Amino acid sequence: MGSSFGIISQTGNNIQTKGLILYNDPAYHKCFITESLNSFNLAVYPKWQNASGSLTPTGSLINGVQWTSSYGGVWDFDGTDDHIQFGIPNNSSSAIFNKQDFTIEFWFNTPLDQTYNVLWSYPDGAYPDYYVQHLRTQGAGVFFGFNEGLDTNESLNNSTNLLQANKWMHVAAGSDRQNSKVFIYTHNTGSISTYFTETTAADIEYVNATASVGNHQFGDFKGFIGPVRFYNRALSQEELDQNHQAEIGRFKL
């Protein structure tokens, strides 16, 4: 089981916290990015002052991302150019998201009326047309793109457990270098989860850049986004299922 990070009484269950280095949740007005995993409790991180302005620490709302009280608090994206941009914490490596093993995790709700709904984008700082990590909806499927070296984009597309329009979806993707694979996790309303994997032999190449939620040159996100988490390790299907069970009550599933 995962350990509590200070809001156990609000969620009712534990989520996985081992390796958690980014947590952004509009329900609790909490946002942190950290490389220090030895001892943290989300309760000690300050709430942001104004939900329509800058987040603290190291996060900014760009071009009018809106906070709404639905589902205890979620971000509302209009599908044009608004997004959340994550900077680099003080006394930290600028390559904080440069991980060979990682998991990107989202709860979101979208009408699926756009070709792409970009959830996470970490562009190549030297080559903006390339992405280092990229997660989006593609039709009713989930697309995970990654830079696999020499500025060559590779991708994994899961269309076996299709997304549902205007429903809360729980999706994650990442890299498991120890087992030479990348993965996409999808958990739809009323369904069991799927954990789709593909073998990849090359090391994923990373450069310094700023990560963002909600947009990239391939498109923008339209709809609502709840918790966003980034881990510096690959979570298993069982661990992601545990996170799902910890939060389904919030989204009335």
Whether 188 is covered by a domain: the verdict is: yes
- CA-CA distance, 203 to 183, in Å (whole number)? 15
Q: Are 119 and 213 within 8 A, CB to CB?
A: yes
Whether 2 is covered by a domain: the verdict is: no
Give the start-end residues of each E strand in the chain.
20-25, 30-33, 59-62, 66-68, 74-78, 83-86, 102-109, 116-123, 131-138, 141-147, 153-158, 168-176, 181-187, 194-199, 211-213, 215-216, 219-220, 222-231
Structural domain including 210 reads 8-247
Terminal-to-terminal C-alpha distance of the chain: 21
Whether 1 is covered by a domain: the verdict is: no
Whether 205 is covered by a domain: the verdict is: yes
pLDDT digits (tens, 9 = 90+) for 169-213: 999 999 888 888 899 999 986 678 999 998 876 666 655 667 889
pLDDT digits (tens, 9 = 90+) for 92-118: 555 677 677 889 999 999 999 988 899
- CA-CA distance, 177 to 118, in Å (whole number)? 24
- CA-CA distance, 55 to 84, in Å (whole number)? 9
In this prediction, residue 166 has a pLDDT band, given cuts at 50, 70 and 90, of very high
- CA-CA distance, 46 to 171, in Å (whole number)? 27
pLDDT, greater one: 181 or 146: 181
Whether 94 is covered by a domain: the verdict is: yes
Whether 20 is covered by a domain: the verdict is: yes
Which of 68, 49, 65 lies closest to 57, judged by CA? 49
Collapsing DSSP states into helix, strand and coil, what is residue 234?
Answer: coil
Q: Are 88 and 94 within 8 A, CB to CB?
A: yes
Q: How many domains does the chain have?
A: 1
Average pLDDT score over residue span 17-37 = 76
Q: Using CA of residue 178, residue 182, residue 186, residue 192, what is the dihedral sign?
A: negative
CATH number assigned to the domain comprising residue 99:
2.60.120.200
pLDDT digits (tens, 9 = 90+) for 30-88: 777 776 554 445 565 656 655 554 555 567 788 888 888 888 889 999 998 888 887 66
Whether 252 is covered by a domain: the verdict is: no
Whether 217 is covered by a domain: the verdict is: yes
